[in-house]
A and B are shown apart, each in its own frame.
Chain A
Amino acid sequence: MLFQPINKNYHEFHIDRDKDLCINCEVCVRQCSYGSHYWDEVRGKVMHDNSKCVGCHRCEALCPTAALHIRKKPSEYRGGASWRPVFMENIYKQADTGGVLLAGMGSPVDIPVYWDRMLLDASQVTNPSIDPLREPMELKTFLGAKPSKLEIETGKDGKPKLKTKLTPQLELNYPIMFSAMSFGSINFNLHRAMARAASELGIYYNTGEGGLHKSLYKYGQNTIVQVASGRFGVHKDYLQAGAGIEIKVGQGAKPGIGGHLPGEKINDMVSETRMVPIGSDAISPAPHHDIYSIEDLLQLIFALKEASEYKAPVSVKIAAVHNVAAIASGIVRAGADIVTIDGMRGGTGAAPAMTRDNVGIPLELALASVDQRLRDEGIRNQASIVAAGGIRCSADAIKAIALGADAVYIATGALIAVGCTLCGRCYTGKCPWGIATNDPKLAKRQNPDIAAKKMTNLVRAWGHEIEEMLGGMGLNSIESLRGNRDKLRAVGLSDTEMDILGVKHAGR
């Protein structure tokens, strides 16, 4: 565009409108919450401003004549391996505003995705593969502390009787759960959809740090309630409403920092649930101010166990950082029943871009070292491990389980199931797909019934795929794959990487 300052000119997307097809119906004008499309009175037709486009594809999807295509802007910088366009654009933005760069969704940076460098095994000849359509195939998973051994007595009738009682467990029909996305960061329609989908599937969804709306308490048997540093919406009824409790210490997308839900997203319902005033920013501090060390964590774990009358296992979620294995060991020794490891590719509604893209370590390496460390210390049975952050498909999930996870969390995947296109502007509150917004006009774009169905379908589909791959390996129960790294082989990884992952190279 001519005569524009540089920050207007160098934008990411380009709206391609086919003039022959466009009927000037203004659907795009109504759908775009960023004002990219507008009615030009003078010309008497729909026009657009490329610089406002975030690349969400909402207009393209809803255009009745398929006149719209959203492309990456074809104009190219001279660039170079070092000064890639993203760095230049960031500087233009910061020179304008003097602010921290914000980003939404998982990190797009090119750090290795180890899932893609590990391959699964299958049976040939010496053992039969098992067909899940004809034989039982078991994915049932229990999360929580397990005793190291069971005491079993023989009853008077000669039958064995269990003497050791298990502590509370979360029983999952699939080793997959919906990860923490707070009410407020996503809207009520989606919270309701997740709750329904989790109930229907026999799994759990995590409330995230924004509390739990009263009307969703009825799904409590499939709910993990989260307690984060802001303590939003945390009270006795809340803690007793869920089947599990999670202490959020850190998030993979933004290790070391807290959260910030802008006041614009805090409407009456969010306000009531979070217990903060309407329109005020809800800020989670970076640390829990009652946890400055591991012994403080122990106290919070047991405070929450007391508050929930020891009926709910307590999970502690940490971001994957350099010393994650030692930290996880401390967490287990502090009494956590579940350790959740959130890798650096995990999603977020809002994070400083520098933190998201440069802090933390990939989930795969963190998971492998945590699982090994807990086994080396003989405490692996004392806690389940949940892997989160960047699980994209059922193969990622099954590889995580083979590395040692008891279950995985998915969140970005669940949002994509309901239409998210990863445009990454969740922090604006203007999500055109009606996901990361509390604007009633936008939020109603999500029908909770349809959204619940899509999320249910996704997990079922992954379940079928996991069954198929499990059977292919000659296994008929997920616990025989859990930590069974012999079923993984690396391709193109270094000795150090393979040593951390505990897998051999393909061909060996």
Chain B
Amino acid sequence: MKAPERYYDFEKDISGCGVFGVISKQRNLIKGDLPINAMACMHDRGNGLGGGFAAYGIYPDMADKYAFHIMCDDKSGVNAAEEVLKHYCTVHEFEPIPTRKTLNITNPPLVNRYFVSPNFDPAHELSDLPEEDYMVSVIMKINTSVAGAYVFSSGKNMGAFKGVGYPEDIADFFRLDEYSAYIWTGHNRFPTNTPGWWAGAHPFTILNWSIVHNGEISSYGINRRYLCEHDYLCSLMTDTEVVAYELDLLIRKHGLSWEMAAKVFAPPFWDEIERMDKDDKELYTALRATYGPGMLNGPFAILVADNNRLMGLNDRIKLRPLLVAEKDDMVFMSSEESSIREVCPELDHVWMPKAGEPVIVDLEG
């Protein structure tokens, strides 16, 4: 799309962070206490300006509906957001997200959840879109056209919970100790240049994708222009948004595998490519030449999840920590080993993935 006026004039959030993820390959449900305690152990990796979690498998009774978590500044925002939602979707059930009043979380927004499906009403302009594009458009509409409202989770049988505060306080506020999930990711944030903003916390999600990210993407300036060429407008001022949109572009729209998308983010060096066999050399040369503007350059460790897998990935020279550990059918990924040992002292196997090597864990069966 044509870049909007003054698209270059943006401010980007800069932050350091702690990340944690766990997946049960057998889909055994893991209680919320585990990721909460692991994140609490990495308290010092944040500064209280952002924390959050994503959980998969938490809405089994509504597994075929999109679970929209919407935060609003006030009641009028709620009404306006609901109006948009009802225009484009059938709302099957809705309720306030259960919260707890806690000392450490002040001035929270109103948080509600809606279980919806697209109505494809031929009367409106989105009706010709494929289902996922349709739902993404609805999310974008609410986020950009309703003042003070923001869809912070929109996948099926999953949910993100985030806000301004340390992750353990956010967990307390959202009563996450009461949820069980087969994949959890968590995030603790240390922004340096923005006041806390609830929507700006991680995980960042779009439909079933969730991303937690520790790093600063120095290539952000070109990544967001590249995404704009492909009709994604970056509006959130965070690096993570770029990761999410690129995943959507590469995997959903261009049909690349997760492994190949990871190689776009953190491609092999040219001197490695030089040493590859003919086919691989051609493949990776084409990948870098074609997707160069999408490469994520700068320090990062990201965890990406959807309903079936968890992926951990570092930048090409491993400028942020990322560690993987296994225990029975569980695989942990974290910024720090201590956080894993805190919740699972005995581990079968612990390793540091190599720079730029994705670690992809699939559910079994």
Contacts and interface: CB of A to CB of B under 8 A. Distances in A.
Interface string A465-477: 0000000011111
Given A160-B257, A162-B283, A375 B228 contact: yes
Interface string A122-135: 01001110100001
A484 B219 contact: yes
A474 B298 CA distance: 6
Given A476-B297, A484-B222, A499-B6, A128 B270 contact: no
B222 A483 contact: yes
25 contacts: A126-B15, A130-B317, A146-B289, A147-B290, A149-B254, A150-B291, A151-B255, A152-B260, A154-B257, A161-B279, A162-B282, A166-B286, A378-B229, A381-B290, A476-B316, A479-B293, A480-B219, A481-B219, A483-B221, A483-B222, A483-B225, A483-B226, A484-B219, A502-B7, A502-B8
Interface centre among B15, B16, B293 (most CB of A within 10 A): B293
A150 B286 contact: yes
Given A126-B216, A475-B298, A476-B316, A150 B287 contact: yes
A161 B277 CA distance: 12
A494 to B, nearest CB: 14
Contacts of A295: none
Contact of B298 (A127, A151, A375, A504): A127
A348 interface: no
B3 interface: yes
A30 B151 CA distance: 81
Contacts of B10: 486
A27 to B, nearest CB: 50
B257 A152 contact: yes
Interface string B308-339: 00000000110100000000000000000000
A169 B293 contact: no
Given A480-B219, A485-B8, A485-B221, A127 B299 contact: yes
A473 B256 contact: no
B93 interface: no
A147 B290 CA distance: 6
A123 B218 contact: yes
A151 B254 CA distance: 8
A421 interface: no
Contacts of B291: 150
Nearest to A135: B317
Given A150-B287, A375-B229, A499-B6, A480 B279 contact: no
Interface string B171-192: 0000000000000000000001
Contacts of B125: none
A169 B289 CA distance: 9
B12 A142 contact: no
A161 B283 contact: yes
B132 interface: no
A12 interface: no
Interface in B1-25: 1-3, 6-10, 12, 14-16
B218 A127 contact: yes
B271 interface: yes
Nearest to A501: B8
A479 B259 contact: no
Contacts of B32: none
B267 to A, nearest CB: 8
A155 B316 CA distance: 26
A164 interface: yes
A406 B192 CA distance: 33
Contacts, number: 135
A136 B271 contact: yes
Interface SS of A by simple majority: loop
Given A135-B317, A477-B297, A376 B256 contact: no
Contacts of A375: 3, 225, 228-229
Interface residues of A, number: 51
A474 B257 contact: no
A161 B229 CA distance: 26
B56 interface: no
Contacts of A166: 285-286, 289-290
A394 interface: no
B241 to A, nearest CB: 14
A406 to B, nearest CB: 10
A39 B349 CA distance: 90
Interface string A362-384: 00000000001001111011000
Nearest to B255: A151
A17 B285 CA distance: 60
Nearest to A505: B9
A182 B207 CA distance: 58
Interface in B196-249: 215-216, 218-222, 225-226, 228-230
B289 A376 contact: no
B270 A162 contact: no
B317 A476 contact: yes
B248 to A, nearest CB: 13
Interface in A205-260: none
Contacts of B218: 123, 127, 473-475, 480
B288 interface: yes
Given A378-B229, A483-B222, A150 B290 contact: yes
A30 B288 CA distance: 55
Interface in A489-507: 499, 502-504
Given A142-B285, A485-B221, 15 more contacts: A128-B319, A135-B317, A136-B269, A138-B269, A142-B289, A150-B254, A150-B287, A154-B257, A381-B290, A474-B298, A477-B292, A481-B219, A484-B219, A484-B220, A503-B8
A411 B289 CA distance: 26
A122 B3 CA distance: 26
Contacts of A52: none
A487 interface: yes
Contacts of B225: 375, 483-485
Contacts of B230: 378
Interface string A100-142: 0000000000000000000000010011101000011010101
Contacts of B317: 130, 135-136, 476
Contacts of A480: 218-219, 222, 292, 295, 297-298
A311 interface: no
A11 interface: no
Contacts of A444: none
B224 to A, nearest CB: 8
A503 B225 CA distance: 13
Contacts of A504: 8-9
A482 interface: yes
Given A126-B216, A162-B279, A375-B3, A474 B293 contact: no
A479 B298 contact: no
Nearest to B216: A127
Contacts of A151: 255
B293 A160 contact: no
Contacts of A149: 253-254, 290
Interface in A288-343: none
A181 B292 CA distance: 31
Interface centre among A164, A166, A480 (most CB of B within 10 A): A480
Interface string A146-188: 1101111010000111101110010000000000000000000
Contact of B3 (A127, A376, A482): A376
